[in-house]
Structure formats: C-alpha cells, structure tokens
C-alpha cells in the first residue's frame, strides 16, 4: 500500500437539509482529501457543519451535489466512527463494550476480548476492563469509546467532538490517547472540535464557518 494513499476524497461535495426557503446548507461545496497519514482537526462553532462534513466522509450522508469517493482498498470495517456523546451499553462491562463490534462482526469472543484488551491498553484504560460504565468517569468513558473503535484496527478514524463534554485536562488526555493509538495502528485521524486548544494538538487544522471549510492557513 502506498504510504500517501488517499482514503477519502470530497470533490465540491455539498450537503443541504430540507428544500426551498427552509433549506439549510450544512456543508457548502468542499474539496478535501484524507490520506493515510493525515491528522486533521476541523474546528468551528456549534452549527458550523462539522458533524455534517464528518458524516459525508463516513458515508452516513450522501452529498446533495458534488462527490465523495472512498478508496477501493477500504473495507467495511476500515472506517471507525466515534460519535458525539458516544454511549456505552450499561449492562456490559468495559471490555465487553469494547469487544462488541468485533463479536457482531463474527470474531470469536476470545479473539474479540483480546483485541479489546489491547485497545484499552492503548488508551490507558486497561485497568477499567471489568467495570461497568456507571463505575467510570466521563473521560474514561470517552477513552473506552475510542478503544471500541481502535479494537477494529480501522484505517481511518473519524471522531466527532471526542472531548466535547470533558474538562480541558481530561479532554487533552483523551486526545493524546487517540493520537497515540492512531499512530500505533497506522490510522488516519479526523477530529472535529469547537476548542482551538484541542485542534492545536493535530498537525493540520482547518476552520469551519457557516458550512464553509476554510483553507489551512486561514486558521486564526
């Protein structure tokens, strides 16, 4: 695999919700490539279109105009999504939560558990493996949500406000864990955030305002 393969490309991709006078342009025509080594922060205020852009990249939404293309080499489990306020299943332990997508994908429970434990270790949450979600903090829950995605060893991680509900120090720890884990498994990482301090930890930062993704140098 070439080191600089483009995993997802947007060509003038736009996303509009609704029609006529009620229409909301969540994303104006956006051209963007995400390569295998990319570490991109999309930073902007609430309602600026960050989640919508992430949904386009993930294929959860189809562009209303323009195109979003994904590399043919990307398999069904190669995109890992961490949603806003990602919630864990209360009745399952931390390790069972982290292993669940692999079990659902047909891996043996033993194999899934091993991968989940390795992923929890990557985000510094291995010691929480046997706790229930109600027995861990919000920051720890975000780490577990990250581990659940990392256990799949995706090639592209799309994280929507992974630090949104956390205080600054906890958010920084979660993000550091995510960056280290992305390095470890060799995944590209796109993070949306409203916090410029969080964005500053990623190598490329692009601002989003009113559905428009600004060029990297336009970050203030």
Ligand X SMILES: Nc1ncnc2c1ncn2[C@@H]1O[C@H](COP(=O)(O)OP(=O)(O)OP(=O)(O)O)[C@@H](O)[C@H]1O
Tell me which residues touch ligand X (CB under 6 A): 17-18, 24, 26, 44, 46-52, 194
Rounded-to-integer distance, Cα 197 and Cα 211, Å: 21
Of 46 and 110, nearer to ligand X (C-beta) is 46
Q: To the nearest whole angstrom, how small is the minimum distance from the Cβ of residue 197 to ligand X?
A: 16
Give the chain's radius of gyration (CA, Å).
Answer: 17
Q: To the nearest whole angstrom, how small is the minimum distance from the Cβ of residue 6 to ligand X?
A: 23
Q: To the nearest whole angstrom, how small is the minimum distance from the Cβ of residue 51 to ligand X?
A: 3
Of 43 and 120, nearer to ligand X (C-beta) is 43
DSSP H/E element including 168: helix 168-185
SS3 of residue 191 by DSSP: strand
Of 6 and 25, nearer to ligand X (C-beta) is 25
What is the token pair recorded at 130? 């046997």
Of 50 and 113, nearer to ligand X (C-beta) is 50
Of 107 and 194, nearer to ligand X (C-beta) is 194
What is the token pair recorded at 153? 């060893």
Residue 217 CB contacts under 8 Å (≥ 6 apart), including other chains: none
Q: To the nearest whole angstrom, how small is the minimum distance from the Cβ of residue 207 to ligand X?
A: 11
Of 48 and 97, nearer to ligand X (C-beta) is 48
DSSP H/E element including 10: strand 6-17
Rounded-to-integer distance, Cα 110 and Cα 165, Å: 33
Which ranges in 20-108 belong to alpha helices (H)?
Answer: 50-58, 94-104
* Residue found under tokens 């861990």: 136
Q: To the nearest whole angstrom, how small is the minimum distance from the Cβ of residue 42 to ligand X?
A: 8
Q: To the nearest whole angstrom, how small is the minimum distance from the Cβ of residue 208 to ligand X?
A: 7
Residue 89 CB contacts under 8 Å (≥ 6 apart), including other chains: 96, 97, 100, 133
């Amino acid at each position: 695999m070439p080191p600089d393969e483009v995993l997802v490309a947007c060509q003038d991709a736009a996303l509009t919700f609704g029609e006529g006078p009620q229409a909301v342009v969540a994303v104006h025509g956006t051209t963007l490539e995400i390569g295998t080594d990319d570490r991109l922060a999309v930073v902007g205020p609430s309602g600026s279109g960050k989640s919508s852009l992430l949904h386009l990249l993930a294929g959860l939404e189809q562009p209303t105009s323009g195109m979003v293309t994904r590399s043919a080499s990307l398999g069904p489990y190669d995109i890992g999504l961490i949603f806003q306020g990602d919630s864990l299943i209360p009745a399952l332990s931390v390790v069972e939560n982290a292993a669940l997508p692999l079990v659902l994908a047909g891996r043996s429970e033993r194999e899934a558990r091993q991968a989940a434990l390795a992923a929890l270790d990557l985000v510094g949450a291995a010691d929480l493996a046997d706790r229930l979600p109600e027995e861990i903090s919000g920051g720890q829950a975000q780490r577990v949500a990250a581990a659940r995605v990392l256990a799949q060893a995706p090639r592209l991680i799309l994280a929507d406000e992974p630090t949104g509900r956390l205080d600054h120090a906890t958010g920084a720890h979660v993000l550091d864990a995510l960056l280290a884990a992305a390095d470890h498994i060799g995944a590209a990482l796109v993070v949306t955030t409203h916090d410029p301090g969080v964005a500053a930890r990623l190598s490329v930062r692009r601002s989003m305002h009113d559905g428009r993704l600004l060029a990297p140098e336009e970050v203030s």
